């Protein structure tokens, strides 16, 4: 039985692990979330030691395929996976859910980075709902705005002086998101284009309340990497290379 390495941490990664019949499935988690949802199959936690370490692991475990199903903003591991796959000749596929798209009534300001998001906020409002993830909070720490900061785990980086920290994990509801915005008098939402239904309710709530959204665009994928947007397409790719 050939080994499939899934670089995981997303719902798509867990769904793929459950459906990859005919493979020995190993899912790798970065270890940044304190209590992650675990997939079926084997799980390893922690880094590989860069692209060279990952290449050695692929060779040692005789990996037959790699699927990068990490968060769309996990650009470092995606780059490492690309380099390691090219060095070893192991087939690589990226599985990233589609990003969000604007709908009638939305007021989005797309920006290329969290630093650009921080720069844009001062002209849009004084009370921000911030859902860009705990590793990006330092970019907002020096701003004098109020932030409703929502993360899954407690942040270890500096926080803005005026903030309310909410530890929570989706899925969220439109009613719940709207109530949070009302309770904290939110007048602008800052988030990343993560895509998916699990956290999209905040966008609907912002639209209904007429709140502008600062949307951080995804980093580009490494050149030459094949990408699909659904688990079905990833399964079809695995079958095409002789498994699942």
pLDDT along the chain (244 residues), means of 10: 93 95 93 75 91 97 96 91 96 95 96 96 94 93 96 91 94 96 98 92 97 96 92 96 67
> How confident is the model at residue 37, as a pLDDT?
79
With a CB cutoff of 8 Å and minimum separation 6, the contacts of 114 are 132, 136, 139, 140, 192, 216
> How confident is the model at residue 198, as a pLDDT?
87
Please give the helix or strand (H or E) that residue 7 lies within, else none.
strand 2-7
> How confident is the model at residue 221, as a pLDDT?
86
> How confident is the model at residue 189, as a pLDDT?
98
| CATH 3.40.50 for the 108-216 domain, yes or no | yes
Q: DSSP character for 229? A: S
> How confident is the model at residue 31, as a pLDDT?
67
Fold of the CATH domain 2-98+219-240: Rossmann fold (3.40.50)
H helices of the chain, in order, are: 11-19, 50-60, 75-88, 114-121, 174-183, 201-209, 231-240
> How confident is the model at residue 38, as a pLDDT?
85
* Contacts for 162-171: CB closer than 8 Å, 24+ residues apart: 170/198, 170/199, 171/197, 171/198, 171/199, 171/201
> How confident is the model at residue 33, as a pLDDT?
64
| pTM of the predicted structure, to 2 decimals | 0.86
Domain spans, the chain: 2-98+219-240, 108-216
């Amino acid at each position: 039985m050939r080994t499939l390495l899934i670089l995981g941490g997303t719902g798509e990664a867990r769904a793929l692990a459950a459906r990859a019949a005919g493979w020995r499935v190993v899912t790798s988690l970065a270890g940044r979330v304190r209590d992650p949802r675990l997939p079926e199959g084997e799980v390893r936690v922690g880094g590989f030691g860069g692209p060279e370490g990952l290449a050695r692991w692929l060779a040692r475990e005789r990996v037959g395929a790699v699927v990068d199903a990490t968060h769309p903003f996990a650009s470092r591991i995606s780059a490492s996976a690309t380099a390691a796959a090219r060095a070893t000749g192991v087939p690589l596929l990226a599985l990233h859910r589609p990003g969000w798209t604007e709908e009638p009534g939305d007021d989005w300001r797309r920006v290329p980075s969290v630093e650009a998001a921080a720069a844009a906020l001062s002209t849009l409002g004084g009370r921000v709902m911030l859902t860009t993830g705990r590793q990006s909070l330092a970019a907002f720490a020096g701003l004098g705005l109020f932030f409703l900061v929502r993360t899954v785990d407690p942040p270890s980086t500096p926080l803005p002086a005026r903030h309310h920290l909410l530890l929570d994990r989706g899925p969220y509801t439109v009613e719940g998101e709207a109530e949070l915005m009302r309770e904290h008098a939110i007048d602008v939402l800052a988030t990343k284009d993560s895509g998916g239904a699990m956290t999209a309710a905040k966008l609907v709530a912002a639209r209904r309340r007429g709140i502008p959204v600062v949307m951080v665009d995804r980093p580009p994928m490494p050149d030459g990497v094949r990408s699909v947007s659904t688990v079905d397409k990833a399964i079809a790719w695995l079958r095409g290379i002789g498994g699942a």
